[in-house]
């Protein structure tokens, strides 16, 4: 299986995935790293690891769907089977999601369905919750909404700031995101409506591969 990781920034989750692939925890080829930002440090991480990179500039496209259409063309050329969103700061269009049904995995820094969106860590602190965490889920057509694969929680200390809490959550993310990818690649995830069952043994399916429509449009 060949997969792509989408990023927009520093890429610490990307690094955790690269390490898991090198250690053979994830038995799949990380074939492409896609960024929506040219200056994203995650691109350097990928280059240092010998992974092909792709920057597609959103400014050059009239709307989100035309942008996603261009990215899909590259994914088809690279024979990408599934996608991992690791700090990707763009919302995928329904057009894109339909091309990879239940083949897009996202990491989010809260215990979904609480605190969706890009300010999840700040929102948890502001609200005063005692526990937050990280969630890995399949992506559907709604924001931070798809079936949940893994979650892990952490207590919020009174002295926590946005920065210290972010560091704690990153540690959770670096553990559960590679694990979720591993389970997916090993065929151990079965989606039943909104619930994801983790199987002891792989599903008896012929392939995980996704065939994109020949006509991307």
Q: How does pLDDT run across 186-196, given as a tens digit for each residue?
A: 999 999 999 99
What is the rounded distance in angstroms from the CA atom of residue 217 to the CA atom of residue 65?
A: 10
Query: Is-above-0.75 flag for pTM?
Result: yes
Domains parsed from the chain with CATH numbers: 2-198 (3.40.50.170)
Q: How does pLDDT run across 95-116, given as a tens digit for each residue?
A: 999 999 999 999 999 999 999 9
Is residue 204 very low, low, confident or very high in pLDDT (cuts 50, 70, 90)?
Answer: low
Q: How does pLDDT run across 138-172, given as a tens digit for each residue?
A: 999 999 999 999 999 999 999 999 999 999 999 99
Q: Has 108 been annotated as catalytic?
A: yes
DSSP 125: H
Torsions phi, psi for 205 (to 5 deg)? -120, 155
Give the pLDDT confidence score for residue 201 in this predicted structure.
Answer: 81
Catalytic residue among 74, 108, 137, 145: 108
Give the pLDDT confidence score for residue 202 in this predicted structure.
Answer: 80
Torsions phi, psi for 52 (to 5 deg)? -65, 140
CB 99 within 8 A of CB 196: no
């Amino acid at each position: 299986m060949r997969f792509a990781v989408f990023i927009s920034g520093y890429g610490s989750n990307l690094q955790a995935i690269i390490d898991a692939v090198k250690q053979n925890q994830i038995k799949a080829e990380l074939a492409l790293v896609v960024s929506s930002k040219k200056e994203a440090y995650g691109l350097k991480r990928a280059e240092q690891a010998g992974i092909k990179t792709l920057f597609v500039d959103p400014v050059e496209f009239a709307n989100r769907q035309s942008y996603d259409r261009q990215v899909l063309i590259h994914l088809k050329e690279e024979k990408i089977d599934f996608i991992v969103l690791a700090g990707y700061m763009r919302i995928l269009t329904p057009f894109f999601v339909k091309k990879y049904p239940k083949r897009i995995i996202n990491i989010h820094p809260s215990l979904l369905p609480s605190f969706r969106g890009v300010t999840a860590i700040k929102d948890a602190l502001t609200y005063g919750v005692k526990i937050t965490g990280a969630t890995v889920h399949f992506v559907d057509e709604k924001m931070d909404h798809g079936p949940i694969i893994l979650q892990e929680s952490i207590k919020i200390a009174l002295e926590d700031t946005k920065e210290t809490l972010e560091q704690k959550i990153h540690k959770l993310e670096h553990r559960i995101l590679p694990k979720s990818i591993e389970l997916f690649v090993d065929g151990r995830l079965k989606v039943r409506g909104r619930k994801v069952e983790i199987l002891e043994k792989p599903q008896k399916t012929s392939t995980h591969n996704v065939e994109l429509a020949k006509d991307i449009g």
